Structure 1
């Protein structure tokens, strides 16, 4: 199967290209142009690793952490821009909390798997060009030729990763073949997380893919046949992304979030994140917001489709072009969805926003509550006094009472 994402060759395409020109260590055949959504991903990973590593390495029970990239690539792009391995290594070696993390080769292992011999060799060359001999670094960096779908478990075993936190990045060129069993093994490991990306073509070409591949990726035939996929192409990818999000929960993660990455230009990319840590969810969203805010691109909640946007625009026709001083329509819409199930405290709304929506954080609950009260769409209990996390909100036609449970 050949899957090609705009601006980046598919894996099979790359192999043909490299083989046709011979094994290049540092030749152009290994490289391809950097596109905008890949650049955005790199900034997200850099920010998240910068938060993930110091949190865990300062936990008393943690002896080591392992970071693994299953599709590492050649380490740079055609115009010389850095690939994700350089970002990842640099984010630790140049971290302002490096001393507090007590970096050492026993405490940090970074594994970069790349199936192409030419790209693997180029990656080693690129990393040693910047960082020097890898075995002399204060962290353990391993560049290995291997396939993510076949060699992830053995690589983690070989480097004694199990029983300690793992962050697995499965960021392919669009052709996701990592078995659900691999994801599940990581999910069952203490304090471990995964990030999996999908290119837009992967979902649209479902009919051309052997069903056994879907069984492998989603965990079973039943898992990906939960319901009929919509015929509409725009809704199809949303359906499949939500099915994969559920597959991560089935694998053993307590929390799973899905994102649509919309760069300033170019095609979107889809990302699913799985973790057992609610603190990890918050840190991931913080990293996402920093990229979103600083770099002129967006991480969207895939559930906000055209129909949902039209519904929100009908509620707030003058506010659909977001005013920075007004709680966004999507945020208010999600809070109203929750309140349709019954009254909830501001604190419970914050928990819901954190774990059940792609973008929103607990602090956004207060922002939304104030705006919805001002719009007259919700009522509160108690009716007077300062709005706090304990204040209970209800839909305006269902007034809250002071004794209403606040679990939502």
Structure 2
């Protein structure tokens, strides 16, 4: 959507779907990161007012509530493990009226004492650069962080994302505004901002005189490859479509940790159960109509055969491949795929096991 002119605006279905992904991921992220770190950071680069026209929570309030839920569970749990000392939450909003509304909304909440909330009335680029400069001066690293970068437009610095992701425990969730990028990528006067967005001038080499689907894949593919080459080992995207079923934007997630990838895929599957990693306002599952009813197991089987046919592999190697190189979840492998394949004598188990049709840790499988 274009930049709203009002302080609050209507919550659109695709935005609600985006918030479901964010909420479900943070519900896993806070406990995982809090288990191993005394201080963690959630940064929302384009936070908005924290509320929509009908009172629905915006991303800052969603994040605060998930952090409080995690800390409340920690308070109730008896454990000898070190407790997290602080969750820093930085919400950046350039529009003054929206920043004030967000601060008022936060002030009305009873915030857990371990949550340090900062509302910054500025822009994402300046604030993030200030943070990086302070870290450089003090020769410190960014705390383990989840960066939610959700702009209305596409004036976004790839170099800045790259610098933030140089910190080893940093993850990023970016709204790549494809609808606007596709519209303006060839417009005279947009060269500098496109080079800033993609991080180099490779976008100029794209042959975009093609069908819309191919054009979308070229633009999406270039940005994804840039993220993989320069920011994160594992990158996954989710396509959001509008009421006319045309692509509005892609959500790109980048991490260097497999557990993060696992949890983000779980969060994305909670919105699209068919595994196409797509949500469309034209077929809104939040209103009871699923875009995809179930995973395409035949496609997953084809991918496994393409990778492992004629080979021997452990169950761990197969699960790792599915996690890192396919859209599917590791829970989609055993009963839906391996069991029928074994029954049809398309594979053979080379290790002992207690029960048939099970594939415990260490299982070695030969796929014909």
TM interval, short-chain normalised? 0.7 to 0.9
Work out whether 1:38 is the aligned partner of 2:15: yes
Structure 2 distance, partners of 1:34, 1:341, is: 51
Q: Partners in 1 of 2:222 and 2:349 — Cα distance?
A: 38
Corresponding residue for residue 331 of structure 2: 363
Alignment pair present for 1:177 and 2:160:
no
> What are the Cα deviations for residues 298-352 of structure 1, in whole angstroms up to 9, with x where unaligned?
66247xxxxxxxxxxxxxxxxxx9886x862332233233236966444322111
List runs of 5+ in structure 1 lacking aligned partners.
Answer: 18-28, 303-320, 400-408
Distance 1:178 1:81 in 2: 27
Tell me what 2:306 maps to. 337
Residue in 2 that maps onto 1:318: none
Cα 1:265/1:91, change in 2 over 3 Å: farther
In 2, Cα distance between the equivalents of 1:150 and 1:128?
Answer: 25
- Structure 2 CA distance for aligned equivalents of residues 89 and 119 of structure 1: 17
Counterpart of 1:47 in structure 2 is 24
**Equivalent residue number for residue 197 of structure 1:** 175
Mapping of 1:246-261 within 5 angstroms? 246-261=225-240
Please say if residues 183 and 251 of structure 1, whose CA atoms lie closer than 8 Å, have aligned partners that are also in contact: no
Maintained 8 Å contact 2:46/2:124? yes
Determine the structure 1 residue equivalent to 2:255: 275
Change over 3 Å in CA distance of 1:369–1:327 after alignment to 2: farther
The change in CA–CA distance for 1:334 and 1:372 in structure 2 (over 3 A counts) is same
Q: Work out the CA distance in 1 between the residues paired with 2:58 and 2:25.
A: 16
Counterparts in 2 of 1:322 and 1:147: CA distance versus 1, 3 Å: closer
The two structures have a TM-score, normalised by structure 1, of 0.72
Shift, 1:37, TM fit: 1.2
The CA distance in 2 between the partners of 1:287 and 1:346, in whole Å, is 24
Deviation at 1:177, TM superposition (A): 2.6
Q: Matched residues in 1 for 2:164 and 2:48: separation?
A: 22
Matched residue of 1:30: which SS?
A: coil
Deviation, structure 1 residue 120: 1.1
- Alignment of 1:98 with 2:66, yes or no, is no
Q: For the residues of structure 1 that align with 2:256 and 2:205, how far apart are their CA atoms?
A: 24
Give the 5 Å matches for 1:3-402.
5=1, 9-10=2-3, 14=4, 17=5, 29-59=6-36, 62-95=37-70, 96-99=72-75, 102=83, 104=85, 107-131=86-110, 137-155=113-131, 162-173=141-152, 175-205=153-183, 206-208=185-187, 210-222=190-202, 224=203, 228-229=207-208, 231-261=210-240, 269-292=249-272, 300-301=276-277, 328-339=297-308, 344-358=313-327, 360-366=328-334, 367-373=336-342, 378-380=346-348, 382=350, 386=356, 388=359, 390-394=363-367, 399=368
SS at match of 2:119: strand
Q: Shift in Å at residue 211 of structure 1?
A: 2.3
C-alpha distance in 2 between matches for 1:227 and 1:126: 45
User: Deviations along 1:89-108, whole A, 9 cap, x unmatched?
Assistant: 0111123533368455xx21
Q: TM-score, normalised by structure 2?
A: 0.79
Greater displacement, 189-198 / 252-261: 252-261
1:365–1:225 distance in 2 versus 1, CA, 3 Å: farther
Distance 1:149 1:219, change over 3 A: same
Cα contact 2:40–2:88 (8 A) shared by 1: yes
Instruction: Check whether the contact 1:37–1:267 (CA below 8 A) recurs between aligned residues.
Output: no
Higher mean displacement: 150-159 or 282-291: 150-159
Matched residue SS, 1:88: helix
Tell me, yes or no, if the aligned pair for 2:50 and 2:58 is still in contact at 8 Å: yes
What is the rounded CA distance, in whole Å, between the counterparts of 1:281 and 1:229 in structure 2? 31
Give the length in aligned residue pairs.
338
- Residue 383 of structure 1 and its aligned partner are, at CA, apart by 11
